[in-house]
Structure 1
């Protein structure tokens, strides 16, 4: 009597792709090319998934044709990958390292609870409304106001990336870390923080003697300032009898989770740094690229500004950023094209136990699953024959409205089944800043024309930053609605 049914195929290890230089070849490739190296490996092989070794680390690179199967894969976690990326650069201590390894159920539960807390804090509209208006208030009355006054007096020169970092990260930081009296109210802290975050790859060097002392000084300054703020804040609340205010704040709840799940008080600065590294650099990079592309394409800038001017006039000076998807579709299309065009980083997870991908491929315990995004974002079958060109119009329908189907093809917010909980806050922050800059100023590159910078190869995680900053002259516009207010009143999330 024959067998009933079909034999199940035994999952196989993905084929290994060797390098020209044993053991360190792929490491050198990443050092030279950054995340583009992973994308180039995907382009050069026809395999849907393959394995490389970077020294002692084993990575399975998953190409776009299999990313739809990633949410179904079990035994994957983010913490150990975060530890691998940031342990050296952030100088994480033993307590936070132990928690991020997720070796036991308590620490794995911590990861789930933190994810839940972030979703509850940054996704509901009532919280978004609070953050958008609060952050815009800091932007408008501090950093933005200073540039505006100087532009009125006869012109102001700024470096785009440096100013956007200072403005956005300061506003976000003040909203979470004690307003103008917190660490983000100190310009020196923000300057050191930028030096610190912009040089993560250099800070990942295996020994301190290989790192520029300037970078070590900035990291030390940021860590000490955060430690001092946390101590002083708690003491002040204890003296005033208002410790509940600390415990009920977002940071207070994150801190309580850390302590509940096995972290130590000594590790709190580490978690603050991880939070800053996760919230700030990506939105800064995307916003910076947005203005680089607008400056490089004067015709696009004129069209974007025209629809924004009309939107402000019709709204009588009170702009609801959630209405921008309908009122300013080209502006949003440019934003999405920035995310696609510069979304060439890789998303990954750590494999806790032997598991399978697409029921065909065995992912071994202790390895990492990595999904480079550029092969998808530059795929001609997905984006058309001009996939390698920067074309915001690909996100618009024939009638000029936003194409939601195209937007859903983006992969920058996640491919492992969970999406970035801060995505709505990031785009609303970026849109509020863009509205203010485009309405208030004419920006002119000092050399008269603007050439897009190359992408930096030093970006550790997230969108690549421009390889160099560009100085522009800021001139106040005369035909704008004075005193425009940024609001978020809608009951829907438009982005």
Structure 2
């Protein structure tokens, strides 16, 4: 027995020293610093599993490096923290050297078969990312963005009075995530929206935890079987959606993407899997962002009063059929970005403070960054948004503190235009093209809640949830626990009928 134990220990030690030797012998001395590893090639995966979205920021804080190397099996990662290096990578001069790489992620979590993967890779290499091109076309700006936003707002206006009843009790995250999910997907997928079925919405929520397993687990089909069964139910719902022509009644972007995929030789059932990417783009961060935005507003009485005052100031007071005892207030939501500076500042600070977005690019050929760091071909460059958003050189000594007042001052508002300082939606060609659609609807939902309800924590006080278990792949970190709240219809609003309008003819961004 002792002999077997000794042999086992000897084998483990031998393997360890071999891996350490392999790790360092394959690392060029001019590459960014290789952080020491306890378990060669596996430390990064272990660190991500243990610390989630905070892992890369923790490394930066611990080692105080501008750029460093992480090694994983068959893959090297260069993690870039310094703004001056980020600017070089993002420059037009380097556009052909550092190429966005999100295709593998989409293929991985959607479960495309091999034929569809080949067709999609060929299409992207020749014509670019069809999904991103379509979203840019329809949701970045202009009348089509206006149409989609109005459809989502109309859905919220109809559903909120039914869901947000007086003394209703529920988790704040669940409450807003459900409303936002139905509004966003309803606007895009139309009347046959698969998410209208509560079982499909629940299956989607059941699938999300499986994404981390698909990314990091060597055996996801064993470790995430329940989540992958949920994925299958969502895919089956989209197969039915396309078979029955649901896409023909949807926002035109959906039918156009379907036809583009068909033209690339992607079978209809495989196109159904690609809708997981569309759904993830809409649903991964919006509800969580709304949760954090509402948490910071609701837990700060002074800020709440300021935002209510701003919203009341832009609302129109109308009587209903001459009845002065029953008033109607109309809030035209198109203008709140311009007319409600405190609300907008709270949104921007929520995005800055909480965002864990990571920009990912692939190195196309051996290159030297800033005449100092050698980067190898096919390595992955990762730019963690947290390193930028919590950089005291950019945001001052309070960078690690939530303070929405920074975005009321002109000094910091100018940073909103710089993706080297403010990047919650990514940067460059991969910058989220649906960001205006999402923020329009998020701000509208928050405005509807704030003017009509007092939202009270059932525990008696607001306690900030931790974010230790947040997923690295998500641009916004999910709280480790929900906050149970009670909705109370405001006394002053019980005799008021509120109407929330997104004007058809407005020019919006």
Q: TM-score range by the shorter chain?
A: 0.7 to 0.9
Structural mapping, 1:184-223, within 5 Å: 184-202=195-213, 204=215, 205-208=217-220, 210-211=222-223, 213-223=225-235
Larger mean Cα displacement after TM superposition, 40-49 or 65-74: 40-49
Q: Deviations over 1:433-492 (max 9, x none)?
A: 111111221111111111111115342231111111111111112324523222145755
Partner residue of 1:382 out of 383, 394, 400 = 394
Residue 202 of structure 1, CA deviation:
4.1
Residue 415 of structure 1, CA deviation:
3.0
Note if 1:251 corresponds to 2:267: no
Note if 1:292 corresponds to 2:308: no
Note if 1:229 corresponds to 2:241: yes
Tell me, which stretches of 5 or more residues in structure 1 are unaligned? 1-10, 238-244
Is the contact between residue 35 and residue 372 of structure 1 (CA under 8 Å) also seen in structure 2?
no
Structural mapping, 1:307-322, within 5 Å: 307-313=310-316, 317-322=329-334
Q: How has the CA–CA distance of structure 1 residues 95 and 357 changed in structure 2, closer, same or farther, with 3 Å as cutoff?
A: farther
Match of 2:498 in 1: 483
Partner residue of 2:484 out of 457, 471, 478 = 471
Larger mean Cα displacement after TM superposition, 433-442 or 387-396: 433-442
Match of 1:329 in 2: 341
Is the contact between residue 247 and residue 256 of structure 1 (CA under 8 Å) also seen in structure 2?
no
Larger mean Cα displacement after TM superposition, 361-370 or 166-175: 361-370
TM-score, normalised to structure 1, is: 0.85
Partner residue of 2:382 out of 361, 370, 374 = 370
- What is the rounded CA distance, in whole Å, between the counterparts of 2:134 and 2:429 in structure 1? 17
Is the contact between residue 442 and residue 477 of structure 1 (CA under 8 Å) also seen in structure 2?
yes
- What is the rounded CA distance, in whole Å, between the counterparts of 2:119 and 2:413 in structure 1? 39
- What is the rounded CA distance, in whole Å, between the counterparts of 1:76 and 1:270 in structure 2? 28
Q: How has the CA–CA distance of structure 1 residues 393 and 191 changed in structure 2, closer, same or farther, with 3 Å as cutoff?
A: same
- What is the rounded CA distance, in whole Å, between the counterparts of 1:347 and 1:162 in structure 2? 28
Q: How has the CA–CA distance of structure 1 residues 210 and 253 changed in structure 2, closer, same or farther, with 3 Å as cutoff?
A: same
- What is the rounded CA distance, in whole Å, between the counterparts of 1:472 and 1:248 in structure 2? 34
Is the contact between residue 71 and residue 417 of structure 1 (CA under 8 Å) also seen in structure 2?
no
Larger radius of gyration: 2
- What is the rounded CA distance, in whole Å, between the counterparts of 2:208 and 2:127 in structure 1? 25
Tell me, which stretches of 5 or more residues in structure 2 are unaligned? 1-28, 319-327
Note if 1:69 corresponds to 2:107: no
Note if 1:97 corresponds to 2:117: yes
Say which SS state the counterpart of residue 218 (structure 1) adopts: helix
Q: Deviations over 1:288-335 (max 9, x none)?
A: 111122233233223222222222247984433342233211111010
Residue 76 of structure 1, CA deviation:
3.5
Say which SS state the counterpart of residue 501 (structure 2) adopts: strand
Q: Deviations over 1:190-210 (max 9, x none)?
A: 122122225522454332564
Higher relative contact order structure (alpha carbons within 8 Å, sequence separation ≥ 6): 1
Number of residue pairs matched by the alignment: 462
Residue 189 of structure 1, CA deviation:
1.2
- What is the rounded CA distance, in whole Å, between the counterparts of 2:250 and 2:504 in structure 1? 28
Q: How has the CA–CA distance of structure 1 residues 259 and 367 changed in structure 2, closer, same or farther, with 3 Å as cutoff?
A: farther
- What is the rounded CA distance, in whole Å, between the counterparts of 1:174 and 1:476 in structure 2? 26
Match of 1:3 in 2: none
Is the contact between residue 78 and residue 350 of structure 1 (CA under 8 Å) also seen in structure 2?
yes
Structural mapping, 1:14-163, within 5 Å: 14-65=32-83, 66-72=85-91, 73=94, 74-79=96-101, 81-83=102-104, 85-99=105-119, 102=121, 104=122, 106-142=123-159, 144-148=160-164, 150-151=165-166, 155-163=167-175
- What is the rounded CA distance, in whole Å, between the counterparts of 2:266 and 2:30 in structure 1? 38
Match of 1:361 in 2: 373
- What is the rounded CA distance, in whole Å, between the counterparts of 1:313 and 1:198 in structure 2? 44
Is the contact between residue 159 and residue 469 of structure 1 (CA under 8 Å) also seen in structure 2?
yes
- What is the rounded CA distance, in whole Å, between the counterparts of 2:475 and 2:260 in structure 1? 25
What's the RMSD between the two structures over aligned residues? Answer: 2.8
Match of 1:4 in 2: none
Structural mapping, 1:265-304, within 5 Å: 265-304=268-307
